[in-house]
Amino acid sequence: MRRKYHRPKQRISDVIVKQMRLLFGLAQQHLQRSGYYVKMVKRLNTRFKIKVPADIKKRYCKHCGTMWTFEKNVRVRTQKGKLVYYCLECKHFTRMPFYKERKERRKKTNL
Ligand SMILES: [Zn+2]
């Protein structure tokens, strides 16, 4: 039988995003236990069907859940309008487009 999902109200989603930010802050403080905290953030995402904020999403590996500290366990390159993150822990690639940022920059230069 198909499971019913009720979209949570705005207030509930705000609380959950706040909780995600709190967990992420803890992950930044305790780098050794960051895998656990990232797992908790992912669990909130799947359970309540609420997006992980973009600024948080860019800071951890979606394959192994490690926190990225730049030039220590991640390598970032640009490639065809995308940022390519290479996790040095699990050797997986993650690609993220940056066309929104590029658009904003173009608007600023034209004005
Ligand atoms: Zn990884």
Query: If you measure from the C-alpha of residue 68 to the centroid of ligand 1, how many angstroms do you get, rounded to a whole number?
Result: 9
Domain boundaries, the chain: 1-60, 63-111
Q: Which residues contact 47 (CB under 8 A, 6 or more apart)?
A: none
For position 19, what pLDDT does the model report? 92
**Closest to 59 (Cα-Cα) out of 83, 80, 78:** 83
Query: 68 and 87 in contact (C-beta within 8 Å)?
Result: yes
pLDDT confidence tier of residue 40, bands split at 50, 70 and 90:
very high
Query: If you measure from the C-alpha of residue 27 to the centroid of ligand 1, how many angstroms do you get, rounded to a whole number?
Result: 15
For position 71, what pLDDT does the model report? 82
For 1-111, strand residue ranges (E) read 74-79, 82-87, 93-97
Question: What is the distance between the terminal CA atoms of the chain, rounded to a whole angstrom?
Answer: 56
Report the percent of the chain where pLDDT is more than 70: 94
Q: Which two tokens stand for residue 59?
A: 């800071």
For position 65, what pLDDT does the model report? 85
Query: If you measure from the C-alpha of residue 63 to the centroid of ligand 1, how many angstroms do you get, rounded to a whole number?
Result: 5
pLDDT confidence tier of residue 108, bands split at 50, 70 and 90:
confident
**Residues 104, 47: Cα–Cα separation, whole Å:** 34
For position 20, what pLDDT does the model report? 92
Is the pLDDT at 100 greater than 90? The verdict is no
Is the pLDDT at 8 greater than 60? The verdict is no
For residues 44, 88, 27 and 36, what is the CA-based torsion angle, rounded to 10 degrees? Answer: 50
Query: If you measure from the C-alpha of residue 16 to the centroid of ligand 1, how many angstroms do you get, rounded to a whole number?
Result: 25
For position 110, what pLDDT does the model report? 74
